[in-house]
A and B are shown apart, each in its own frame.
Chain A
């Protein structure tokens, strides 16, 4: 396979003196920003936001943590699918079958799994407070549990994919692209199926008029904080991979 020969140069080509963090966002300053932003979100969830109409007690405050997790768990899948698509179909000769792209898709899938678990547990708590039952097969609950299964299946395939990194990369990226269809259906079709009635407050949040200024003040920073946290963890995971690849080639 030609890919076996083209693989080593990308890991060997950067000079040893090159700075570790990838170009674009540099240094640790923005990481301090994430830390402070997350502190603001946690403070704001309890002291800036007030109890919302239509929610039982203080339950509306869960939105600031649960919704970004849920959104991230589907975004992560599309990020992974984008890297998988580039890995298999890129016309750029250095990108096609470049194992770094496969590693990036794997990192996104791992993080997606993490945030999917968190969204499931926090969503279950939310449902318990709001509807008095921790699980009632609401369409959104079907979606999140379907995503959870897809992520878990991917990780199973990755652990069983074999010793050759090349072959494993091809099997796993193909699986991501195939399961993109269930994912698209889970994110956009299943929540709109009328036969499964929804108790979920999506429609309340979707209308900006229903959200008060105090909620926006906390919700938007919360999205930003969670996305930046995702980027940070993603970079950590990818740097770990690069270290492993360098180690293996030595």
Chain B
């Protein structure tokens, strides 16, 4: 299973972020147990994955319909005989990220809202430290968003004709993007679940954080498709993306306890 393999890779990130808790192995196994529990529940009910799946598929179809004419369109460059694509690859990637951001925000709230609704959050609060809960939820959301990106990206490429670019840089941008997305979505879900008016609040709190992230992604997308680039520029663009996600996860791990224990 590709999804499980993805989260195994995400383990070290959350382990570093969870310095709040004292004994690392016990804490890590608790987080793994919570992750396994969430995954089992998801496999049984398929609430989150079906919500994201339906959203992503219908959004992709709508996009395909709306951009059919734009996909191959060329516009002339003034004063020359040359033309340039009306919708350049970087623009295509930016739209893919807008799609993924909204997809993440339709489904990732589920993890915390579900605990609050069924009243299991109290039991969870008593049974394991906040750091473990955060790591478990983050791992689950990472798995979910990686799975969605894995399915949606090839489909999106097929529909809009987005090229791959340099494969390694492309892969790094996708991983960095998904990490930041899951980091932002997890902590905002925890906040929104504790406040009133969960649904509307969730997007209102999350999208401003993602606005900045999209600016970084746009920069990275331009780097991916701008042809051969100085190595430093690539490192800067991808590094900015990763540092945003990792910083977000670190601060979330440090402050998660304050919203979880009440």
Contacts and interface: CB of A to CB of B under 8 A. Distances in A.
A–B direct touch in complex (beta carbons closer than 8 A): yes
Nearest to B203: A153
A181 B208 contact: no
Contact of A153 (B204, B240, B244): B204
A167 interface: yes
Interface of B: 187, 191, 194-197, 201, 204-205, 207-209, 211-213, 215-216, 218-219, 222-223, 233, 240, 244, 247-248, 251-252, 254-255, 258-259, 262
A217 B223 CA distance: 43
A195 B223 contact: yes
B251 A160 contact: no
Contacts of A39: none
A175 B248 CA distance: 11
A182 B191 contact: no
A149 B208 contact: yes
B205 A156 contact: yes
Contact of B258 (A88, A189, A194): A88
- Nearest 9 interchain pairs by C-beta: A149-B208, A182-B212, A195-B222, A174-B255, A153-B208, A195-B219, A150-B208, A193-B219, A170-B258
A195 B218 contact: yes
B209 A179 contact: yes
A221 interface: no
A210 B213 CA distance: 34
A225 interface: no
Q: Which of B191, B196, B254 has the most CB of A within 10 A?
A: B191
Contacts of B248: 178, 181
Contacts of B258: 88, 170, 173-174
Nearest to A97: B258
A48 interface: no
